[in-house]
Structure 1
Amino acid sequence: MAKKKGSLSPEEILQNALVPDWEQPYQVPENWMWVKFGSLTHDMADGPFGSNLKSEHYTEEKEARIIQLSNIGEDGWREENTKYTTFNHAYTIAKSIVSSGDIVIAKMMPAGRAIIVPNNEQMYVLSSDAIKMVPTRVVSTQFLVRGINCTFFRNQVQENTQGIIRARTSISKLKEYAFPLPPVAEQQRIVNRIESLLSKLDEAKEKAQTALDSYEKHKAVILHKAFTGELTKKWREENCVSLDSWEKRKLGKCGEWFGGGTPTTSIAEYWDDGTVLWVTPKDMKSNIIVDTIDHITEAAIESSSAKLIADNAILFVVRSGILRRILPIAMTKCPVTVNQDIKALVPQNVSQEYIFWACIANEKSIRDSCSKSGTTVESISTGLLHEYMLPIPTPEEQSEIVRILESIIEKEQKAKEHSNVIEKIDLMKKVILARAFRGELATNNPEEESAKELLKSILLDKINTVPSIEKKKSVLVLEDSKMPKTILEALSEHKSLTPEKLKAQTGIKDIDDFYAELKKLVDTGAVIERREGEENYLEVNNEGRQA
């Protein structure tokens, strides 16, 4: 019979927190240890069920800020998509309340990215797609969040997500993942070294981004002039052509449209040694499709919905999450096939390059006016796309517009390529983090006490913070000679306190326990809330208290 958790010896508790040799992702310095992520946490909690935090619970008042997936950036907190709920409603989902300095981990899109919650609001609460992680006090929060965002940890998350449409992770899975634990002093040296190196890269990235932004603005101005007639005004004057020669034409009338599909992946004959380009949204990263990630065979074309588009075409992504921010458009100069997420237009009586650049110029307008609503995955309505109107000049002026555009944009593109080091910088960041969590930044001191002693302290710290009834069951119990104050005792002494200051005055260490107890007192009328400017205060309701 397995032992109960409370009856385990200190050595058994330690062994349960360690990652077996055969499960360790890679070798680390001798005074480091691979531990299970859950052993480094004081508390982890899910966001509320969707029905417990809906739009009807939102408020215009700046009370409890809701942490949404869009706030969890790859490089830290993202200040966007601001939503609040009331303090009262936050207390009803108390386990989802988050403190400044806690770590929040995204469950999906993609799963595993993490941030440290800033100190910009009176209160924070999780949305349903996030997880709160409170580190044990003897582990560096900065070190942990850097590690969570490192490749070794994110790979573990991505390899074990669940869900077909939106892959997600869970607390139970996160707790089992391997995490390298160095001595305390080494954690801080690693954090300092990372911050020093990344700050220099961030400075370089900012300069590169400024150059890119300048290019994009200049490009937008050129494209606007091209399709309002301003760019070729001099050409029309020299060739006695009027702007009235331009007409409006629906995209659906600009040529023949084609769709696509995916050949059955289980039939090897459709894929093995395939030579025909099969375009999917992940291939739509350049103006002209030269090659594709996947290729299909002639047999696949004959037996599936992936029909050959032999003539030069313009491709539009009509179904993909990327449509939230951009509509990918590309040209083909050779026969291709496409999958079901792409529509192809083979132009007739109009220049392929002209239509391409006209659509690029109107990309945001097309996306805004042709997007479907209420779909799980962002989509473009084919019917609305066919109805979209474009300005069409004479064939000669089309050629002149394309000539000028390609000449100007080619020069700008070269400048862009010289300044576009962002991808390289992001790669360098990943390399730095990977080396940091392998002990390869020349910061480790092998003479320092092994992380095994630190792990013992962590486990001891965790046991010291469980309720006293659980402490009695453990062999690692510590006596607490200090009598804590209750919420009512703290409020009686100080008359009026904010929730944060009230918690600090009580002996309730766990934030979830604190807000659960506070909610009971508010619900029974023993404690009342009072608004004063931007602050929320709590007071004892002397009239409501029973003698």
Structure 2
Amino acid sequence: MLYGRLRPYLNKHDIASFSGVCSTDILVFEASVLVANVLVDKFFNLPFFIEYVVANSKGINLPRVSEETVLNTTFPLPPLLEQQRIVERIEELFAKLDEAKERLQEVANSFAVRKAAILHKAFTGELTQQWRRENGVSDESWEEKKGEDFFEYVTSGSRGWAKYYSDKGSIFVRMGNLNHGTIELDFSDIQYVELPDQVEGQRSKLQKNDILISITADVGMIGLVREDMDAYINQHVALARPKNDLYAEFLAWYFVSDVGLQQMQNKQRGATKIGLGLQDIRSIILKIPTLSEQHEIVRLIDDLLARERAAQQAAEQALASIDLMKKSILARAFRGELGTNKASEASALELLRQVLAEN
């Protein structure tokens, strides 16, 4: 049995399947006729054991635990036959938990895929197909328009604003405040600016329903301005202001979807083109349904994504609980609570007496 004494909080241990030598930072424990190595290996995973060796290690930067400390640990010793049953029961329960963990991880990891599928259906008309039938709206009602037809104003931020940086004042929206896969602005890191009364950047002051688009480097990150605010954008962000007869949230989600994002990425491609121009945004083509259908699409997106987020969060919470369940199983195993004991078997103490008598 091998046990890493350096940084015991890492809990490194294994059953050697080969012969050889090892460094002094690895403790080697020989097998005993009283206990199976595989059971000791399970014992080393007990939270109380890990806490014990960590608390009794020496050193600050490179803490180590001594062989004596490990050997002084209290080890519950069941009969040999029960040891095997304990190990088999632990491995059986762990296998079931690992299978559940794999499935839960798939649910948690597939959120982005399911989200992309919802948005694709939303902007190809599939999501509201039933709604159109129920409301007598023709499938031909979607009109193809260019950005210049549905945006009344497109601009980007001014350069050289670093000299106006401040600890207070107006919010200065940068690319770090935008994200892929969402239309919400991220203000976890805010930069402020204090502007003189007369400055050219006033044209990029934000208004409610403005759509913000990253136009350099990581092109196509989107943010929707949901309320009027004292804020401006830098030169790496474009401001696209929808016309009044269009639903801004619908347009914002369109640019997040693969349908809209692909157009922006295609316009960025080229040997010398390193970003997205304002004219590129004005030339983006979008099929626009009636205003009432735009609202229905956004309602469905919000509802479906809320359900998907709930499923993802539930999966992540269940994943976290699996590790706790494994610790609980180990603790119960070494308390004899897994139903593996048999009263008819000789105790480990009797076996120990027999071994001592023979020697």
Report the Cα offset of residue 298 of structure 1.
5.0
Looking at structure 2, the residues matched to 314 and 242 of structure 1 have their Cα atoms a distance apart, in angstroms, of 29
Equivalent positions of 1:18-417 (< 5 A) are 210-255=106-151, 256-267=153-164, 270-274=165-169, 276-285=170-179, 286-289=182-185, 291=187, 293-297=189-193, 299=195, 302-305=198-201, 307-320=204-217, 322-323=218-219, 327-334=220-227, 335=229, 336-348=231-243, 349-361=245-257, 362-375=259-272, 378-417=274-313
Map Cα deviations across residues 41-76 of structure 1 (whole Å, 9 max, x no partner).
xxxxxxxxxxxxxxxxxxxxxxxxxxxxxxxxxxxx
Contact 1:366-1:385 within 8 A present in 2 as well: no
Whichever residue aligns with residue 156 of structure 2, its letter is G
Looking at structure 1, the residues matched to 262 and 137 of structure 2 have their Cα atoms a distance apart, in angstroms, of 28
Q: Look up the SS of the partner of 1:391 in the other structure.
A: strand
Report the Cα offset of residue 338 of structure 1.
0.9
Alignment match, 1:514: none
Bigger strand fraction:
1
Looking at structure 1, the residues matched to 235 and 197 of structure 2 have their Cα atoms a distance apart, in angstroms, of 14
Map Cα deviations across residues 182-201 of structure 1 (whole Å, 9 max, x no partner).
99xxxxxxxxxxxxxxxxxx
Looking at structure 2, the residues matched to 395 and 301 of structure 1 have their Cα atoms a distance apart, in angstroms, of 39
Report the Cα offset of residue 311 of structure 1.
2.9
Task: Report 1 or 2 for greater relative contact order, CA contacts < 8 Å, sequence distance ≥ 6.
Answer: 2
Looking at structure 1, the residues matched to 316 and 122 of structure 2 have their Cα atoms a distance apart, in angstroms, of 25
Report the Cα offset of residue 404 of structure 1.
1.2
Q: Look up the SS of the partner of 1:224 in the other structure.
A: helix
Q: Look up the SS of the partner of 1:305 in the other structure.
A: helix
Report the Cα offset of residue 339 of structure 1.
0.7
Task: Return 5+ residue gaps in structure 1 as ranges.
Answer: 1-30, 32-137, 139-179, 184-202, 425-547
Whichever residue aligns with residue 346 of structure 1, its letter is R
Map Cα deviations across residues 457-503 of structure 1 (whole Å, 9 max, x no partner).
xxxxxxxxxxxxxxxxxxxxxxxxxxxxxxxxxxxxxxxxxxxxxxx
Q: Look up the SS of the partner of 2:266 in the other structure.
A: helix
Map Cα deviations across residues 329-371 of structure 1 (whole Å, 9 max, x no partner).
1211133311101111111121011111222222441243211
Contact 2:206-2:225 within 8 A present in 1 as well: no
Looking at structure 1, the residues matched to 102 and 267 of structure 2 have their Cα atoms a distance apart, in angstroms, of 34
With over 3 angstroms needed to count, the CA separation of the structure-2 counterparts of 1:220 and 1:273, relative to structure 1, is closer
Looking at structure 2, the residues matched to 420 and 262 of structure 1 have their Cα atoms a distance apart, in angstroms, of 43
Whichever residue aligns with residue 281 of structure 1, its letter is M
Contact 2:250-2:295 within 8 A present in 1 as well: yes
With over 3 angstroms needed to count, the CA separation of the structure-2 counterparts of 1:364 and 1:212, relative to structure 1, is farther
Percent of residue pairs identical: 27
Contact 2:171-2:193 within 8 A present in 1 as well: no
Whichever residue aligns with residue 403 of structure 1, its letter is R
Which of these two proteins has the greater Rg computed from alpha carbons? Answer: 2
Contact 2:166-2:194 within 8 A present in 1 as well: no
Contact 1:277-1:294 within 8 A present in 2 as well: yes
- RMSD over aligned CA atoms reads 3.9
With over 3 angstroms needed to count, the CA separation of the structure-2 counterparts of 1:278 and 1:416, relative to structure 1, is farther
How many residues align? The count is: 229
Looking at structure 2, the residues matched to 304 and 209 of structure 1 have their Cα atoms a distance apart, in angstroms, of 50
Task: Return 5+ residue gaps in structure 2 as ranges.
Answer: 1-5, 7-22, 24-60, 65-98, 321-359
Q: Look up the SS of the partner of 2:286 in the other structure.
A: strand
Looking at structure 1, the residues matched to 136 and 208 of structure 2 have their Cα atoms a distance apart, in angstroms, of 34
Report the Cα offset of residue 205 of structure 1.
9.7
With over 3 angstroms needed to count, the CA separation of the structure-2 counterparts of 1:343 and 1:205, relative to structure 1, is farther
Looking at structure 1, the residues matched to 281 and 155 of structure 2 have their Cα atoms a distance apart, in angstroms, of 13
Report the Cα offset of residue 397 of structure 1.
0.9
Looking at structure 2, the residues matched to 292 and 304 of structure 1 have their Cα atoms a distance apart, in angstroms, of 27
Looking at structure 2, the residues matched to 359 and 298 of structure 1 have their Cα atoms a distance apart, in angstroms, of 31
Report the Cα offset of residue 225 of structure 1.
2.0
Report the Cα offset of residue 287 of structure 1.
2.4
With over 3 angstroms needed to count, the CA separation of the structure-2 counterparts of 1:294 and 1:222, relative to structure 1, is closer
Q: Look up the SS of the partner of 2:162 in the other structure.
A: coil
